[in-house]
Homo-oligomer: A and B are copies of this chain.
């Protein structure tokens, strides 16, 4: 663990979350570092294009280089590449917006966003993040993690985004169990009021759940009784297809690859 690099990364993270512009002193206070230390790190990061300094105020913010890197990540993401075609097909089939996501720390990040064919104007949500416990995409992934990893995630308190967000570890565990049983997860206005989602996990060649894929949209439309069954079937089928493209064998798909007694999938 190289500390100067780790500190630089923490600075980037700090610049990325919360205030979009920070001063040297402010960063030093937040990370408990001396002013000159932060200064040196910032200067280096600036020369690499990862941060930029406002010449007028002297404050620092993220630089354009990080966007280039983010784009390169998307371009190189195998999950994204393999799921784009099938996500487009799913969106056309069910006429809903489709998201493909990855779990990073305790949040789910959207790596691909296929628009709902009918809607003219929608905002692109690639790069957006949602707490894992408040969305179907997150539950679909976490339901396939090992007990230890789930425990680790549930150790932190669960933030409530809406009145319907599950914040009790027990309630979340129950949701994970049913998601694991059914093979897909359902979310009903737990992240945004009015919005819901249905998502299924995507496995790679080793059987690990590397991400998830699902539909998002108005809860009344997606979660109506008859829509729900056809949607969930289509979502699961698409996720299976992507998993197959990633090299997952059919046998590995139920997520039995991790230590600990797995819940039975069917």
Contact = CB atoms under 8 A, between A and B. Distances in A.
Interface of A: 1-2, 4-6, 8-10, 12-13, 15-17, 20-21, 40-41, 43-45, 47-50, 55-56, 61-77, 102, 104-105, 109, 111, 124, 126-129, 205-206
Contacts of A20: 72, 75-77
B4 A4 contact: yes
A48 B8 CA distance: 10
A150 to B, nearest CB: 19
A74 B67 contact: yes
A41 B5 contact: yes
A17 B108 CA distance: 25
The 9 closest A-B pairs by CB, nearest first: A70-B70, A20-B76, A71-B127, A16-B72, A9-B48, A66-B69, A64-B104, A62-B73, A67-B70
Contacts of A61: 73, 76
B5 A69 contact: no
A64 B68 contact: no
Nearest to A12: B69
Contacts of A1: 43-44, 47
B124 A126 contact: yes
B66 A70 contact: yes
A129 to B, nearest CB: 6
Nearest to A102: B64
A33 B43 CA distance: 22
Given A47-B6, A48-B9, A69 B71 contact: no
B127 A68 contact: yes
Contact of A72 (B2, B62, B126, B205): B62
Given A1-B47, A104-B49, A109 B69 contact: no
A73 to B, nearest CB: 4
A4 B105 CA distance: 25
A64 B15 CA distance: 16
B109 A64 contact: yes
B73 A64 contact: yes
10 contacts: A8-B8, A9-B44, A13-B69, A21-B76, A56-B205, A62-B72, A62-B76, A64-B111, A66-B72, A67-B70
Contact of A69 (B16, B44, B48, B128): B16
B62 A67 contact: no
A4 B206 CA distance: 34
Given A64-B104, A66-B72, 11 more contacts: A5-B8, A6-B48, A8-B8, A13-B48, A64-B73, A64-B111, A68-B129, A70-B73, A71-B127, A71-B128, A74-B127
